[in-house]
Structure 1
């Protein structure tokens, strides 16, 4: 790999690491992550800045740190969009999702969708934008995220712990019973479907036909 290709590779990796970080990284840390020298990093960051010049993202850099930010050209549009999002009422759907997160605890979107019976993508985006919920990696499955309530929400509700919520023990017990019953029902239906699709059943059906 020649020097020009090396710098291009550094620029690509720098952009990826800064995006993944979602914040600011020190130049020393960034160089360590990429596995390059400080001089190569400086050249790579300059190339990254040039690449981003026509996009809605800008490279912000000081003598010791670097990060990605919304470009000045797009800043007003992004700010206006967030203000509209934050100005929306969370509605009944938002209250239902918050109730699930408060009484059930950290949950995946699929689990929330299953309990509510509808897609909750837009509702979760609103709650995230309002600072009422946060998204974090799921240690049990890297392909999906867990959503949980924020400390700010608890403060807004005037409780120091979820166990202090009204009828917490009763509702969590009922919610657990509901999920257990649904899983049992699903298993029974699955067993029934397996029986209907068994070779013996197919042969019986063929004989009847």
Structure 2
């Protein structure tokens, strides 16, 4: 592998989003023709490995080999479940089903400060800040493609609907409230008869 191919491999490895040929030309300090040739070499290098080079139009990205998708999905799903606290998982579910949503709205739903959970989710790359069209001073949150990848879905629409999830949950019934007014009136009338 030549030095330029090695540089491109490193650039594509450290980013979670696709890079264009123009971006690679700029950061690798090479010509477009050199970058295209190096990308072809990188594609051949990765072909039979656990990581492959994907390209769509002029965009390139490293991704796990589809032959290993079951193993990777199992690992990521278990990793996601093991490392999220209950509060953080709750915030993530709220964001997934109500996105885009503000911090104030999240905290209104939960009834507690959610800053720590939001920060943890941002650091893990599961949610991202987006601009709030109605208030430039505040941000909104939505899930990322990383979140979708870890769940093994391609779109937020692939998640079960909120109604589907909650339809199987039986809420506990509230205990019956005894109406003491009937009992008190009966005692009073009995005492009046005496």
TM-score (norm 2): 0.44
Structure 1 or 2: more helix by fraction: 1
TM-score (norm 1): 0.42
